[in-house]
Homo-oligomer: A and B are copies of this chain.
Amino acid sequence: MAISLNLLQLQANPARPKFLKWNPVRPAVYFRAPARSTVVMSQITPSYWATINEDIEDHLRQVIPAKDPPAVFEPLGHFIFSAPRNSAPALCIAACELVGGRRDKAMAAATALQLIHAATYTREYPPLTAREISRAAVVDRIYGANIQLLTGDAIAPIVFEILAGSCDWSESGSERVQHVMVEMARAMGTEGWVGGQFRGLEEEATAEEVSEKTEGGLHACGGACGAILGGGSEEEIEKMRKYGKLVGMVKGLSKNVFGGKENERKREKIEEFKVLAFKVLEGFKGEKVHEIYGFLDFEGL
């Protein structure tokens, strides 16, 4: 029984946006991705991360449909491409290569991770699901809250459609993709990002607890899935999961560090996690280990 994946058939053509026909004002917004310079994650070896992020960006544009009706697909494209780039997808590719896998093996998973981030980012609409009002300034307000929430809901199933269509399921290795699907479902749901959002609604929640489940969970998933798809051993998979979690928490805590006592504590935690993350990489060999260290030298995103 042939599985035809619409998403893959209806590829967006970045050179000539299809939406141009209907609304000449919006395409510039629709296809406005963050400048690539903001996606470079390491100051030491920009070229490695830059090539990974370029490949992910290209793949994302290939699999996201630009089709009718514009009322649905225009906001879908807008929110997917205007969401800030997350570093978990790049870590997924790097983990795959670290354990000896080919980059393309982890590309669908990396794209799926960026979509999970775009979905959660789109849904975190300030008046309802985020505590800080400051976020309101970050989110583009071209569309109403109803369209924004529906679009977030629409992005999530695409994650699994892409994963399900990413391999020939009669071949060996397809059980790896099954494993990745379960990992991704957890990183999205109550044990992952949504769980972190729930925690964030509680008054006594600390930034550490929230970032453990949100950025920590997504990066842990990225590291583990990359190692799974690259054919890593059980030990390598768990090491990459742990490394990802620590890196994700560093990234989560690094947001909004300005000064003050609470921030002093955050800075200490960040340094502590960096040391732990460094230790996790012990035992890995080859030039790729140096590349993956690069994640630790980067505080922003």
Binding site for B on A (CB under 8 A): 1, 3, 5-6, 69, 71-73, 76, 120, 123, 128-129, 145-147, 149-150, 152-154, 156-158, 160-161, 164-165, 169-170, 174-176, 178-179, 181-182, 184-186, 188-191, 194-195, 197-199, 201-202, 228, 234, 237
Contact = CB atoms under 8 A, between A and B. Distances in A.
Given A146-B129, A182-B5, A194 B234 contact: no
Contacts of A154: 189-190, 194-195
A198 B143 CA distance: 12
21 contacts: A1-B228, A3-B182, A5-B182, A71-B198, A128-B149, A129-B150, A146-B201, A150-B197, A152-B153, A153-B156, A153-B189, A154-B195, A156-B157, A157-B188, A157-B194, A158-B189, A160-B181, A161-B181, A169-B175, A169-B178, A170-B175
A150 B198 contact: yes
Contacts of A145: 128
Q: How many copies does the complex hold?
A: 2
Contact of A174 (B129, B174, B237): B174
Nearest to A67: B190
B201 A157 contact: no
Contacts of A181: 160-161, 164, 181
> Counting chain B CB atoms within 10 Å of each CB, which of A3, A160, A176, A195 scores highest?
A160
Contacts of A120: 153
Nearest to A237: B1
Contacts of A184: 157, 160
Contact of A179 (B1, B174, B199): B1
Given A154-B189, A156-B157, A178 B73 contact: no
